[in-house]
Amino acid sequence: MLKPTLRRPFAACLLSLACSSAAAASSPYSTMIVFGDSLADAGQFPDAGGPPGATLRFTNRTGPTFQNGSGETFGLNSSTLLGGMLGVAPGDLQASTSPVRAAQGLADGNNWAVGGDRTDQILSAITTQSQVANTDTSTGVTTVFRTRPGYLAQNNFRADPNALYYLTGGGNDFLQGRVISPAQAISAANNLADGAQALSQAGARYIMVWLLPDIGQTPAVSGTFLQGPSSLLSGVFNQQLVSRLGQINAEVIPLNVPGLVREVLDSPARFGLAADQNLVGTCFSGNGCRANSVYGINGTSPDPTRLLFNDGVHPTVAGQRLIADYGYSILSAPWEITLLPEMANGTLRAQQDELRSQWLADWGNWQNVGEWRAIVAGGGQKLDFDAQSNSASGDGHGYNLTIGGSYRFAEEWRAGLVAGAYRQTLEAGPRDSDYKLSSYIATAFVQYQANHWWADVAASGGKLDYDNLKRKFALGVSEGAEKGDTGGNLWALSGRLGFDLAEQHSRWHVSPFISADYSHVEVDGYAENSSRATALNYDDQTRRSKRLGAGLQGKFEVTPQTQLFGEVAHEREFDTDQQDVTIALNSVPGVDFNLQGYEPQRSLNRASIGLSQKLAPDLTLRAGYNWRKNDDVTQQGVNLALSLDF
């Protein structure tokens, strides 16, 4: 929040406030563009106490001494850490207007945040001019290190629509005495919102915005008579900011940083912080606050990772990591949640594979006209997702039980119905989030078989019960988790037409065929079961699949009682629109955003092989293996079934 020489006099500014008011994954984004103050400054200013060519960041040095002149650089801030997690090019994460980089002939980066900037200056860096300057508080003289056109000004007021924009600001409006009343807090919030709106109007789609941390809960202010007014006006600022963000025509992603900080302070040990220390009343460096006597820079056991604040207002590297992980947990949530419809598709296709395996085993060997054939089958499946730029990798497994039967009502025709219960578990993402699905699916079918030609048509419908959805994510040295449950439904139509190349009584049969499939999966929206800063709620999801295919199936009679059968096919998916989901934070109502997730692949290959064995004239045992594969998803299944004619 503060420039190097602006750290001492801010208490006087807060006094006037109190007197006047009671108050690595590949990236789904093309790049990351940052605007803000010292909380996000990637290194605009020279580092006078660091190695040659180093730049200043407003957190602790990397250690082991943490001292100026030690040759140690400063740790990374949350925006740079988040960009690294998203796979953004390292050069893009560098400072935009650094005189140090310019002197070294290095390219400017996309981080326009400048320590000490107020919200009006942040707005200027977006729309008109970026300036890195420092004011000597004893003389009032301002030294300008470098200026350049602002982001939109230098880009003809066109924003990259595929970039992630990251905004933070407001603290310096308080610390420089510009916010001493609710009206001024509202005005400062409007400046930050105006910046987000300017980006949106220029074409930006994804804009992540911090809510202002509680200024009253910083070491510089906590425990003083300034605490109450500072906290009150921080709340006024955030209320106005949220109101404005909800009106911007973009995917605005709020970060409830004050909520996160409250939760960290409620359970500090969980996050590796010192539970026996005053984490708000002390800091690491002693700059603008009282240095912690144990873990402070001159304490008995110096360790900034045990403290939340480095100085009077800036987080340590531990705090920076928590905020970066928090932002990533929100951005990565749809990469997992959009796999929920794919779980349902997996269970549907497991039933279709089981049914087609039964049909293939029955090929040319139906029950007599007027008779029933009952089946009972059990099986298991394995479902593997490879990571995409917008979806997580995942490993799933499940099991099922299917019962049903068919009735041959004419020489060339039979019809049937099967119903199955399925249980599936998916572990997805780097923390193995745990998603469970129970599915109940029924399929009615009609088959035709005569004079080498054969055909089948099936219609399916089912109920989905996601009874345990546990999303897991990193939070510093700890792990966060949010739980929820929801339901849904599916329906599908499929048909095939084939021609048997062999004669009816041949020991072998080979048949090319064509196929058409349509499925429609609905997953109901749901809210995770907490009011924590990390808890999200999701809108309904719809996943449609439209496929055409061609394949070859075959069958060989080893003995009159034993038969081998198999099938290979290639299918083309015609609905490959990337899945998306609308999300909101439970703790920030009124600001929702739509983020992309899983992208269906165009080509699918599948194969099956099986064996049937007559145990008695009317009783048959069947076993089979099924395999499906596209570029990113592999599904395998095994099944064992009994059929009885009566």
Tell me which of 41, 47, 194, 314 is the catalytic residue. Answer: 314
pLDDT of 10 > 80? The answer is no
Collapsed DSSP state (helix, strand, coil) of residue 470: strand
Backbone angles phi and psi of 77, in degrees to 5? -90, 175
Judge contact between 567 and 554, C-beta under 8 A: yes
pLDDT tens sequence across 248-294: 999 999 999 999 999 999 999 999 999 999 999 999 999 989 999 99
Task: State the CB neighbour count (10 A cutoff) for residue 140.
Answer: 7
Tell me which of 160, 311, 362, 517 is the catalytic residue. Answer: 311
The residues that bridge with 423 in the sheet, in sequence order, are 399, 438
Residue 32 confidence class, pLDDT cut points 50, 70, 90: very high
Please give the average per-residue pLDDT across 122-149, as a whole number.
Answer: 90
Mean predicted lDDT score pLDDT of the chain: 93
Indicate if 570 belongs to the active site: no
Token pair 């997953």 in the structure block, residue: 523
pLDDT of 410 > 80? The answer is yes
pLDDT of 3 > 70? The answer is no
Q: What is the chain's Cα-based Rg?
A: 31
Task: State the CB neighbour count (10 A cutoff) for residue 522.
Answer: 17
Tokens of 459: 């219609």
pLDDT of 498 > 70? The answer is yes
Percent composition of the chain: helix, strand, coil (DSSP 3-state, to 5): 25, 40, 35
pLDDT of 136 > 80? The answer is no
Tokens of 164: 């992630």
The residues that bridge with 291 in the sheet, in sequence order, are 283
Cα distances (angstroms) measured from residue 584 to each of 113, 347, 547, 589, 593: 26, 29, 33, 7, 6
Q: What is the pLDDT at residue 608?
A: 96
Q: What is the pLDDT at residue 11?
A: 37
Q: Give the span between the Cα atoms of 571 and 603, in whole angstroms.
A: 6
Which residues neighbour 35 within 8 Å (Cβ) at sequence distance 6 or greater? 112, 113, 122, 125, 126, 151, 165, 166, 167, 168, 169, 195
User: By CB neighbour count within 10 A (0-12 exposed, 13-18 middle, 19+ buried), where does 24 fall?
Assistant: exposed
pLDDT tens sequence across 316-354: 999 999 999 999 999 999 999 999 999 999 999 999 999
Q: Which residues of 126-137 are buried (b: 16+ CB within 10 A; e: fewer)?
A: bbeebbbbbeee
Indicate if 16 belongs to the active site: no
pLDDT tens sequence across 281-306: 999 999 989 999 999 999 999 999 99
242: Cα within 13 Å, side-chain hemisphere: 20
pLDDT of 25 > 70? The answer is no
Indicate if 314 belongs to the active site: yes
pLDDT tens sequence across 54-73: 999 999 999 999 999 999 99
Backbone angles phi and psi of 210, in degrees to 5? -70, 140
369: Cα within 13 Å, side-chain hemisphere: 6
pLDDT of 19 > 70? The answer is no
pLDDT of 8 > 60? The answer is no
Residue 18 confidence class, pLDDT cut points 50, 70, 90: very low
Q: Give the span between the Cα atoms of 84 and 24, in whole angstroms.
A: 7
pLDDT tens sequence across 78-110: 999 999 999 999 999 999 999 999 999 999 999
Q: What is the pLDDT at residue 514?
A: 98
Q: What is the pLDDT at residue 5?
A: 42
Cα distances (angstroms) measured from residue 9 to each of 172, 178, 287, 536: 12, 14, 12, 40
Cα distances (angstroms) measured from residue 66 to each of 48, 250, 296, 304, 316: 14, 41, 10, 9, 12
Judge contact between 57 and 77, C-beta under 8 A: yes
Q: What is the pLDDT at residue 17?
A: 36
Taking CA 510 as the corner, what is the angle to CA 381 and CA 405, rounded to the nearest 5 degrees? 50
pLDDT tens sequence across 156-185: 999 999 999 999 999 999 999 899 999 999
Q: Give the span between the Cα atoms of 352 and 346, in whole angstroms.
A: 10
Backbone angles phi and psi of 17, in degrees to 5? -65, -45
Residue 26 confidence class, pLDDT cut points 50, 70, 90: low
Q: Give the span between the Cα atoms of 585 and 408, in whole angstroms.
A: 55
Tell me which of 21, 27, 37, 38 is the catalytic residue. Answer: 38
Q: What is the pLDDT at residue 504?
A: 81
Q: What is the pLDDT at residue 12?
A: 37
Cα distances (angstroms) measured from residue 589 to each of 76, 192, 193, 476: 31, 19, 17, 26
Q: Which residues of 290-315 are buried (b: 16+ CB within 10 A; e: fewer)?
A: ebbebbbbebeebbbbbbbbbbbbbb
Q: What one-character-per-residue DSSP string does 410-453 give?
A: SSSEEEEEEEEEEEEEEEETTTTEEEEEEEEEEEEEEEEEETTE
**Start-to-end C-alpha separation, the chain:** 81
Of 156-170, 431-445, 498-512, the least confident: 498-512
Please give the average per-residue pLDDT across 488-501, as a whole number.
Answer: 97
Cα distances (angstroms) measured from residue 412 to each of 7, 174, 449, 456: 89, 83, 5, 12
pLDDT tens sequence across 579-601: 999 999 999 999 999 999 999 99
pLDDT of 24 > 80? The answer is no
Q: What is the pLDDT at residue 223?
A: 87
**4 vs 568: which has the higher pLDDT:** 568
